[in-house]
Amino acid sequence: YSNKDYNGKTVLVTAGPTQEEIDPVRYISNHSSGKMGYAIAEAARNRGAEVILVTGPVALIPPRYVQIINVTSNADMYNAVMDVYDRCDIIIKAAAVADYKPAEAFKHKIKKTDEDLNLSLKKNIDILKELGKIKGSKILVGFAAETDDLINNAKTKIEKKNLDMIVANDVTVEGSGFKADENLASIIKRDGEILSLNKMSKSELAHKILDIVKTIN
């Protein structure tokens, strides 16, 4: 990529799922593969940015010349993001963070009995919302994974989390969203402008996101 339009910028990207421990052998998680976030990290690096990638557990090869911080749980991701936040100009949160965790992480493997088992869940920290509170002049980009009322739900997230823009993907579309190599998304800016994009590779979408981030000041 010859256009180094991100020279001098530090971009923080989060990618992948988080895993919330139930006991030493089990966890709660989701279908995120990390492909979307990794594509953004690579695109930003290719455009000259210094990139910090905070990643949940995924099966991808880490991009070169990017600072990688491996995390497992929501709490780990929160701590990692807060540690590096000060150094960053732009934060792009493609990670699929677990909203709940088991109220108690059992120290020993839960034994099977003849009874049903109820698991009590506790709310996790909304990392993006916390970032929104301390945003200052930084550019904050969220993702919204929706199964219905895509645009309205995404717009609500812009306001609630104090974002500059959000990438809304309808994760019910076949061959798009979680795990897929392509994504169908709409990008919504804080001022309400909506860009409805065609389905494209996650790498192409990553570049589109970076193009639009540049129009925010």
Give the nearer residue to ligand PMT in terms of CB position, either 48 or 173: 173
Closest among 108, 35, 22 to 73, alpha carbons compared: 22
Instruction: Return the range that interacts with ligand PMT (CB under 6 A); candidates 47-55, 112-120, 170-178, 187-195.
Output: 170-178
CB of 6 or CB of 143, closer to ligand PMT: 143
Single-letter residue type at 122: K
Tell me whether residue 30 is one of the annotated catalytic residues.
yes
Joined tokens for residue 24? 């030493």
Phi/psi of residue 11, each to 5°? Answer: -115, 125
Given the residues 3, 30, 46, 162, select the one marked as catalytic: 30
Contact yes or no for 185/206 (Cβ under 8 A) = no
Amino acid at the residue 70: N
**Looking at 54, 97, 150, 184, which residue binds ligand PMT (CB under 6 A)?**
97
93 lines the binding site for ligand PMT (CB under 6 A):
yes
> Does residue 36 bind ligand PMT (CB under 6 A)?
yes
Q: Which of residues 27, 177, 187, 209 is near ligand PMT by CB under 6 A? A: 177
User: Stretches 19-27, 30-38, 45-53, 192-200: which one binds ligand PMT (CB under 6 A)?
Assistant: 30-38
- Alpha helix segments (H runs only) across 85-147: 127-133
Name which position in 179, 193, 194, 196 contacts ligand PMT (CB under 6 A).
Answer: 179
Minimum Å distance from CB 198 to ligand PMT? 16
**Residue 128 Cβ, how far from ligand PMT at the closest point, in Å?**
3
Cα–Cα distance measured from residue 67 to residue 103, given in angstroms and rounded to the nearest whole number: 32
DSSP for 16-83 reads SB--EEEETTEEE-----SHHHHHHHHHHHHTT-EEEEEE-S-SSPPPTTSEEEE--SHHHHHHHHHH
Q: Does 76 bind ligand PMT (CB under 6 A)?
A: no
State in Å, rounded, how far the first CA of the chain is from the last one: 23
- Does 210 engage in binding with ligand PMT (CB under 6 A)? no
Cβ closest to ligand PMT, residue 47 vs residue 161: 161
Give CA–CA dist 123/184, Å, rounded. Answer: 29
* Binding-site residue positions: 99, 109, 143, 157, 161
* Binding-site residue positions for CTP: 99, 109, 143, 157, 161
Could you list the residues that contact ligand PMT (CB under 6 A)?
32-36, 74, 93-97, 99, 124, 126-128, 142-145, 157, 169, 171, 177-179
